Amino acid sequence: MKHIKPFIIIIIVLAFIPFHSYAQSYESPVEYMQKISDALDNTKRDTWKYLKAVTRGKRARKIERKRENLIDEIYASKNQIRKMPKYETRDSLRIAAIDYLDMSYTVLKEDYDKILDMEDIAEQSYDMMEAYLLAKEKASEKLNQSFEDLVYAQEKFAEKHDVTLQEGEQDRMSRKISDAGETLSYYNDVYLIFFKAYKEEAYVMEALDKNDIMSFEQSTASLKQFSEEGIEDLKKMDSFQGDASLKNGAIKILRFYIKEAEGDFATMTDYFIKKDNFEKIKKSFDAKKKRNRTKQDIKQFNKAVNEYNASAKKANKILNSGNK
């Protein structure tokens, strides 16, 4: 019994069929499948590495070199398979391998060119982030579909030529490529729930920086609402293959946002009020000449100063704690 290194699974030859004239370059269907396997192995492994990096949240821009190298690798593999002699008239396995590489090339070259551009602006808004994550998910789905077509073509070829397929190391890698798409979809669902509240917190801090109390209070209310809704949505989600760490991590940060909205940012609202009151009193106080200032004016001014300083001290403490 002869074992060979496959591109999907270990192949065990049970019987050989007669060869036609166009198959003279191969001693058996096993050798033919091995030739295609050899041309695909590196490409499959490196595709998996790239998808794994993207799935784990690495920015595509930072691993651009990986993509460029993979595109060159796919192009070389496709030319190698295209130059191979046919094994049979229709040659469906060889065609499927070329189609798989063509789709991989298109997705990594064209789709990811657009994804890179979208990545640069994704964090500007929830809608942009949603479009960016969806584009990555669709690209992964295209790769998965073309890979499934390749698997099907191999199974049909093996069935036709009495070759039995047995699971091996390469098949486990193939499943990892497919699982990467499922992982990415799950990650995106969780991340978008988190990002909606995360972006609203950024609007709160922006309003705080601009001393815009109206926007601050509106964004604080939205932050609390999005965080509460997000927690309920996350609780309804299943764990991913028994792993709830991502979901639980998102719930934890959303609970922190609620704490900010209900407690810390409420204190910040008090700071805005005290600051506004102080500025009004100071303006009125400064407008009076010293000899015209009454004891009541001085008392009122000093009270406003003390209240503003105390509120500012609390606000700074909250900001430092939140940043930490």
Give the per-residue pLDDT at 168.
56
Q: Tell me: the pLDDT tens digits for 257-269?
A: 999 899 888 778 8
pLDDT, one tens digit per residue, over 245-256 is 999 999 999 999
Query: Is 95's pLDDT higher than 50?
Result: yes
Lowest mean pLDDT across 9-18, 45-54, 78-87, 286-295: 9-18
Tokens for 167, please give them.
């699971």
- Both tokens of 227, joined, read 């965080």
Q: Which two tokens stand for residue 313?
A: 């001290």
Cα gap 105→257, rounded to integer Å: 42
Strand-by-strand arrangement of the 10-13 sheet: 3-4, 10-13, 163-166
DSSP symbol at 262 = I
Instruction: Return the pLDDT at 177.
Output: 67
Average pLDDT, the chain: 82
CA–CA separation, 152 and 145 (whole Å):
11
Mean pLDDT, residues 198-222 taken together: 89
Q: Rounded to the nearest 10 degrees, how much is the dihedral formed by the CA atoms of 231, 233, 234, 236?
A: 130
**CA 230 to each of CA 54, 183, 237: distance values in angstroms, whole numbers, following the listed order:** 24, 20, 11
The answer to whether the Cα torsion of 182, 183, 186, 187 is positive or negative is: negative
pLDDT surpassing 90 at residue 212:
no
Over residues 109-140, the pLDDT tens digits come to 999 889 889 988 998 999 999 999 999 888 88
Q: Which DSSP state fits 212?
A: -
- 100 has pLDDT over 80: yes
Helices (H) and strands (E) in the chain, counts: 10, 3
End-to-end CA distance of the chain: 63
Q: Are 176 and 210 spatial neighbours (Cβ–Cβ below 8 Å)? A: no
Nearest one of 168, 40, 173, 9 to 104, comparing CA atoms = 40
pLDDT at 62: 79
Highest mean pLDDT among 23-27, 83-87, 266-270, 318-322 belongs to 83-87
User: What per-residue confidence (pLDDT) applies to 264?
Assistant: 82
- Counted residue by residue, the chain has a size of 324
Cα–Cα dist 95/248, whole Å: 45
Pairing of strands 163-166, 3-4: unpaired
pLDDT at residue number 171: 61
Residue 132 corresponds to which tokens in the numbers above?
A: 């960016």
Taking residue 166's Cβ as centre, other Cβ atoms within 10 Å add up to 11
297 pLDDT above the threshold of 80: yes
Q: What is the pLDDT of residue 86?
A: 81
Confirm if 37 and 94 have CB atoms less than 8 A apart. Answer: no
Lowest mean pLDDT among 45-49, 157-161, 232-236: 45-49
According to the model, what pLDDT value does residue 223 have? Answer: 96
Q: Where are the domains of the chain?
A: 3-194, 211-323
